[in-house]
């Protein structure tokens, strides 16, 4: 009689288990099934096991394939079982290929092909089902995720999507999952999405996944703009979906124990937090070559800011960034200094400078210290005034730590909200806000709204720009025959509407009868400045800025300055607005009306902006053409330099040109006005 033995947790028994047992039985005459005990699952790092041992044994018995069921309770038991039961064949799934080759010294070893595409026809136990998870991305983190996911019960890695199909196919072949060429097919096959793609793609993939009704676990940093984080969390909450930011440290047992001890009062009131995480990255890697989305803060900032936010909160009174940059403008070493009402903190991260990595929490009675790698918290100490008194704590950190975040993600999906405190929505939003403060030294403005994708200077173009997490929006105002402020760039209506003539010769009612060329976006008309402010006020109250260009250098509209200042004042948005004009005289009048308002002087060359500045218009900012920076960065130091970029306007095709923002920053430019700002977010 040929005896076969196999092992597993067999939690939430599903068709993959069923098929494995069926094929194992077919290998011989007598099948022995080893079911892991709760204690052994815990020691080997298996998380989130739902069913009791008795239930799992009963479910295996009900399949009808097991001739004998035993309990696996310890490491090394497999060899003893093979000897004890005189087993001929040891078999497990092919996802363990190679791991049990040592068993060949005792019997034949067979790796059975794993079941791809676990369907939704799973056994439903206690109203829970296996979550089929799909991976977006095929990089280093995704490679680590698959083996970690095997150690979390209740989840099946279904497939992978990467727009580079060859990479997806190689990844899928390696891990015996499906590769999807189309996102729609991918979404139809999964219940939840794990996003491990390049940082700049996170926002779009999260939004798309949520839009398809999928729960989302996204690796850090989730997004790089506070407004984007708020938008995505709001959408997820409204549609009863889980959106989870994957910072493994936040979910590991050791770090949570550390936070508990720190906040327990044993070190008194916390007054200082110092945290550091550095590593020397290969200069050729993406982290140090991607001028938009690389750098130490993007890569490591989430880790170092996590303990600060958890211990001191997100309401600091002041925040400062001190940065050492490489030749390409990327931050090699960043120190964030934060001031709170009763505490201070420093969070340091680096990819090109090495420093001592540790977490130090200072209190009024003692201090807590965790040495590197504190972000994989497994050991920390509490010290007191008495140097002989030291409390020591330890907790295992298993594998890469991804199993912890996946386990808590699954718990949230299953309605157990006990994990939400480990990284709250507000903390994720705060992290995104901190990324925005430093990540984009170059501030991005939408020129006439998102004017390459949508008709320029329309409410549609402004709305699309407002939700994109930009620094601000630029628009242009003219004045009608009856004294109304309207948003349009040209002095004439000919280019953008079916009408002909000067704006100043139309009444508002006559302008409203004109239609803006909009093709697939019908119904667009010339908006009034009041309509624009009605739309943008909610966004501006959250930090969006507005640059209002007064188009009065060709035709000096009488009273335009008073009208626009009064209108902005009605909405209480004075601090959110920048006024600009090619007319220095107009800017002087603005300064006379509102001495506190911010003013930018427009011209082609930055040197001409300086010339006008000397005339006494009171401008604080220079608004030149981006290719006409004819003064040195040293000469421009201390000035806000907002450069405008000429690109194509709707409905023209995109230029295909993408600015090197780091290079422009070196020239002294601080902000850019872009027709297609969405390409940079």
pLDDT in tens, 571-593: 999 989 999 999 999 999 999 99
Q: How many CA atoms lie within 13 A of 588 on its CB side?
A: 9
Please identify which of the residues 215, 439, 489, 623 carries the catalytic annotation: 489
User: In Å, how far are 534, 540, 550 from 572, measured between CA atoms?
Assistant: 12, 10, 19
Instruction: Count H helices and E strands in the chain, helices first.
Output: 22, 28
Residues with Cβ < 8 Å from 456, sequence gap 6 or more? 448, 449, 489, 496, 649, 650, 675
pLDDT, position 437: 53
Query: Nearest Cα to 274, choosing from 377, 367, 389?
Result: 367
Quick: pLDDT tens for 272-281: 999 999 999 9
pLDDT greater than 90 at residue 455: yes
pLDDT, position 347: 97
DSSP letter at 66 equals: -
Quick: pLDDT tens for 146-157: 999 988 988 889
When mean pLDDT is compared across 125-139, 344-358, 480-494, the lowest value belongs to 125-139
Residue whose token pair is 């994708």:
453
Query: Nearest Cα to 36, choosing from 74, 82, 68, 5?
Result: 74
What mean pLDDT do residues 172-197 have? 95
Adjacent-strand bridge partners of 109: 90
Neighbouring C-beta atoms of residue 419, cutoff 10 Å = 19
CA dihedral 272, 277, 283, 288 (to 10 degrees): -60
Concerning whether 447 is annotated as a catalytic residue, the answer is: yes
pLDDT greater than 70 at residue 127: no
pLDDT, position 456: 95
Band (119; pLDDT cuts 50, 70, 90): very low
Q: How far apart are CA 510 and CA 63, in angstroms?
A: 78
Adjacent-strand bridge partners of 478: 486
Band (317; pLDDT cuts 50, 70, 90): confident
pLDDT greater than 80 at residue 291: no
Q: Is 264 exposed, middle or buried (0-12, 13-18, 19+ CB in 10 A)?
A: exposed
Band (126; pLDDT cuts 50, 70, 90): very low
User: In Å, how far are 35, 54, 182, 196, 641 from 5, measured between CA atoms?
Assistant: 11, 19, 40, 37, 72
Q: How far apart are CA 356 and CA 343, in angstroms?
A: 22
**Residue 674 and residue 444 in contact, taking contact as beta carbons nearer than 8 Å:** yes
What mean pLDDT do residues 518-529 have? 87
Average pLDDT score, the chain = 90
Query: Nearest Cα to 574, choosing from 597, 550, 595, 540?
Result: 597
Chain-centroid distance of CA 355 in Å reads: 26
pLDDT greater than 60 at residue 7: yes
Residues with Cβ < 8 Å from 245, sequence gap 6 or more? 218, 220, 221, 222, 302, 423, 428, 431
User: In Å, how far are 99, 166, 167 from 170, measured between CA atoms?
Assistant: 21, 6, 5
When mean pLDDT is compared across 370-384, 481-495, 606-620, the lowest value belongs to 606-620
Quick: pLDDT tens for 192-202: 999 999 998 99
pLDDT greater than 60 at residue 382: yes
Band (123; pLDDT cuts 50, 70, 90): very low
Share of the chain above pLDDT 70, in %: 95
Band (680; pLDDT cuts 50, 70, 90): confident
**Residue 275 and residue 307 in contact, taking contact as beta carbons nearer than 8 Å:** yes
**Residue 262 and residue 296 in contact, taking contact as beta carbons nearer than 8 Å:** no
pLDDT greater than 60 at residue 38: yes
Quick: pLDDT tens for 238-270: 999 999 999 999 999 999 999 999 999 999 999
- Give the phi and the psi of residue 332 in degrees, each rounded to 5: -85, -25
Please identify which of the residues 14, 447, 521, 648 carries the catalytic annotation: 447
Find the distance separating the first CA and the last CA of the chain, reported in whole Å: 66
Whether the ω angle into residue 221 lies within 30 degrees of 0, i.e. cis, is yes
Concerning whether 515 is annotated as a catalytic residue, the answer is: no
Model-level pTM?
0.61
User: In Å, how far are 380, 544, 601 from 454, measured between CA atoms?
Assistant: 55, 19, 27
What mean pLDDT do residues 430-458 have? 83
pLDDT, position 289: 83
pLDDT, position 228: 87
Neighbouring C-beta atoms of residue 76, cutoff 10 Å = 7
pLDDT, position 292: 66
User: In Å, how far are 105, 128, 182, 405 from 158, measured between CA atoms?
Assistant: 34, 18, 15, 18
What mean pLDDT do residues 151-170 have? 93
Query: Nearest Cα to 93, choosing from 115, 77, 74?
Result: 115
pLDDT, position 130: 79
pLDDT, position 502: 97
DSSP letter at 556 equals: -
pLDDT, position 244: 94
Task: Name the more confident of 375 and 471.
Answer: 375
């Amino acid at each position: 009689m040929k005896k076969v033995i196999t092992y597993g947790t067999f939690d939430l028994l599903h068709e993959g288990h069923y098929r494995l047992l069926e094929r194992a039985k077919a290998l011989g005459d007598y099948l022995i099934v080893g079911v892991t005990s709760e204690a052994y699952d815990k020691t080997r790092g298996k998380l989130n096991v739902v069913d009791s041992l008795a239930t799992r044994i009963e479910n295996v018995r009900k399949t009808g394939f097991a001739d004998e069921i035993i309990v696996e309770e310890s490491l090394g038991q497999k060899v003893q079982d093979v000897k004890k039961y005189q087993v001929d064949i040891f078999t497990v799934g092919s996802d363990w290929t190679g791991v049990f080759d040592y068993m060949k010294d005792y019997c034949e070893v067979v790796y059975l092909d794993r079941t791809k595409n676990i369907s939704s026809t799973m056994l439903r136990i206690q109203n829970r089902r296996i979550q089929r998870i799909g991976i977006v991305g095929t990089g280093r983190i995704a490679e680590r995720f698959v083996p970690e996911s095997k150690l979390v019960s209740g989840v099946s890695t279904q497939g992978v999507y990467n727009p580079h199909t060859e990479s997806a196919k190689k990844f899928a072949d390696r891990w015996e999952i499906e590769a999807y060429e189309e996102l729609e097919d991918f979404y139809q096959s999964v219940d939840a999405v794990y996003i491990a793609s390049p940082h700049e793609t996170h926002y779009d993939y999260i939004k798309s996944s949520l839009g398809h009704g999928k729960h989302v676990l996204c690796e850090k940093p989730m997004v790089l703009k506070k407004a984007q984080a708020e938008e995505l969390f709001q959408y997820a909450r409204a549609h009863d979906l889980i959106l989870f930011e994957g910072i493994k440290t936040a979910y590991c047992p050791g770090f949570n124990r550390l936070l508990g001890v720190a906040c327990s009062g044993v070190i008194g009131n916390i007054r200082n937090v110092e945290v550091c995480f550095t590593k020397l990255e290969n200069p050729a890697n993406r982290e140090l070559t991607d001028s938009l989305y690389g750098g130490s803060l993007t890569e490591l900032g989430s880790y170092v800011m996590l303990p600060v936010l958890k211990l001191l909160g997100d309401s600091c009174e002041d925040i400062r960034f001190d940065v050492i940059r490489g030749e390409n403008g990327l931050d090699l070493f960043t120190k964030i200094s934060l001031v709170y009402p009763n505490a201070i903190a420093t969070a340091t991260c680096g990819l090109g400078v090495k420093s001592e990595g540790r977490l130090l929490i200072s209190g009024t009675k003692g201090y807590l210290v965790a040495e590197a790698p504190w972000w994989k918290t497994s050991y920390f100490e509490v010290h007191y005034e008495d140097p002989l008194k030291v409390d020591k704590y330890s907790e295992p950190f298993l594998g890469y730590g991804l199993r912890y975040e996946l386990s808590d993600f699954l718990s949230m999906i299953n309605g157990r909200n006990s994990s939400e405190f480990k990284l709250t929505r507000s903390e994720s939003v705060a992290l995104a806000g901190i990324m925005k403060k430093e990540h984009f030294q170059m501030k991005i403005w939408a020129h006439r709204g998102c004017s390459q994708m949508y008709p320029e200077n329309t409410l549609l173009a402004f709305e699309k720009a407002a939700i994109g997490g930009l620094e601000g929006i630029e628009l242009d105002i003219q004045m009608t025959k009856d004294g109304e402020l309207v948003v349009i760039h040209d002095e004439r209506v000919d280019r953008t509407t079916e009408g002909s003539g000067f704006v100043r010769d139309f009444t508002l009612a006559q302008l409203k009868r004109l239609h803006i060329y909009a093709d697939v976006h019908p119904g667009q008309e010339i908006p009034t400045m009041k309509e624009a402010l009605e739309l943008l006020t909610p966004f501006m109250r959250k930090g969006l800025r507005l640059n209002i260009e007064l188009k009065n250098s060709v035709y000096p509209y009488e009273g335009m300055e008073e009208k626009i200042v009064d209108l902005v004042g009605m909405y209480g948005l004075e601090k959110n607005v920048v006024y600009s004009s090619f007319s220095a005289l107009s800017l002087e009048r603005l300064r006379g009306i509102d001495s506190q308002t911010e003013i930018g002087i427009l011209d082609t060359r930055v040197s001409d902006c300086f010339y006008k500045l000397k005339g006494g218009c009171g401008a604080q900012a220079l608004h030149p053409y981006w290719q006409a920076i004819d003064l040195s960065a040293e000469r421009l130091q201390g000035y806000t330099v907002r450069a405008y970029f000429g690109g194509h306007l709707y409905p023209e095709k995109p230029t295909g040109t993408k600015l090197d923002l780091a290079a422009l920053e070196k020239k002294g430019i601080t902000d850019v006005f872009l027709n297609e700002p969405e390409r940079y977010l």
